[in-house]
């Protein structure tokens, strides 16, 4: 049997913290979305201002209907935004768009960690799914090699999520001064936009908080099982 009640001593606090992090991110986005930008700028205006202020050329800003997340694509050299962010005239839209454009600045400056970021995001998405499939598959067919393959992949996923955090916070740090200098936001609006950008980066923190807890559950539950002895 794979159930280990002691895992909850580690799992529950981590999941609680991750839940609070998710609640805080949503609360920040919801509050800032109710505040119109005094300049009347949209998210796309904010992205363009950050690009122009930082001297980054050759990067397009585009809305992508049906997209589930806002992101900067190094391969396409584009900032891809959901319509509500691209056309939104509130501080949430401006903060999210500027945060993603901060990655374009990192790309132009040859940030040492950005080159690995795309692979990290793909690994975190694919690895989490594959780790789960292998682990559950190994459990169902009682094949230990699949269980431990799932554990190995999930471990790499956890490391990737933690590795990505400094890149996210650095993107926000680079973009904020550009918004103020170009007049997209006022100094009075800056604290709210900073919170939005921190929340955008913090979505990775909540994922990283959840993953080690899940990893513990996966790793130590099979390892802690008592070996069955053969009857004499």
Catalogue the active-site residues. 100
DSSP 69: S
Measured in degrees and rounded to the nearest 5, phi and psi for residue 184 equal: -65, -40
Decide: residue 228, CB within 10 A, 0-12 exposed, 13-18 middle, 19+ buried: exposed
Edge-to-edge strands, sheet with 78-81: 60-63, 78-81, 71-73
Residue 96 and residue 59: Cα distance in Å, rounded?
17
Q: Which of 162, 123, 153 is nearest to 219 (CA)?
A: 153
Beta carbons of 43 and 85 less than 8 angstroms apart: yes
Report the first-to-last Cα separation within the chain, whole angstroms. Answer: 22
For residues 62-81, one letter each, b for 16 or more C-beta atoms within 10 angstroms of the residue's C-beta and e for the rest, the string is ebeeeeeebbbbbeeebbbb
Say if residues 158 and 208 touch (Cβ distance below 8 Å). Answer: yes
């Amino acid at each position: 049997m794979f159930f280990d009640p002691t895992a909850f001593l580690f799992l529950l606090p981590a999941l609680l913290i991750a839940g609070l992090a998710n609640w805080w991110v949503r609360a920040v986005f919801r509050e800032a979305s109710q505040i119109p930008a005094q300049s009347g700028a949209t998210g796309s205006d904010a992205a363009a201002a950050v690009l122009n202020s930082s001297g980054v050329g050759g990067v397009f800003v585009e809305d992508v209907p049906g997209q589930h997340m806002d992101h900067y694509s190094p391969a396409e050299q584009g900032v891809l935004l959901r319509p509500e962010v691209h056309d939104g005239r509130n501080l949430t839209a401006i903060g999210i768009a500027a945060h993603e454009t901060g990655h374009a600045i990192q790309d132009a400056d040859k940030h040492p960690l950005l080159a690995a970021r795309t692979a990290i995001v793909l690994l975190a998405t694919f690895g989490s799914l594959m780790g789960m499939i292998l682990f559950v598959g190994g459990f169902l067919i009682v094949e230990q090699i699949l269980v431990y393959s799932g554990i190995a992949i999930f471990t790499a996923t956890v490391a990737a999520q933690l590795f990505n955090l400094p890149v996210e916070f650095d993107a926000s740090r680079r973009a904020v001064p550009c918004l103020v200098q170009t007049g997209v936001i006022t100094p009075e609006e800056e604290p709210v936009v900073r919170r939005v950008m921190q929340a955008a980066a913090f979505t990775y923190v909540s994922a990283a908080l959840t993953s080690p807890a899940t990893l513990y559950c996966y790793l130590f539950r099979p390892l802690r099982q008592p070996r069955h002895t053969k009857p004499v």
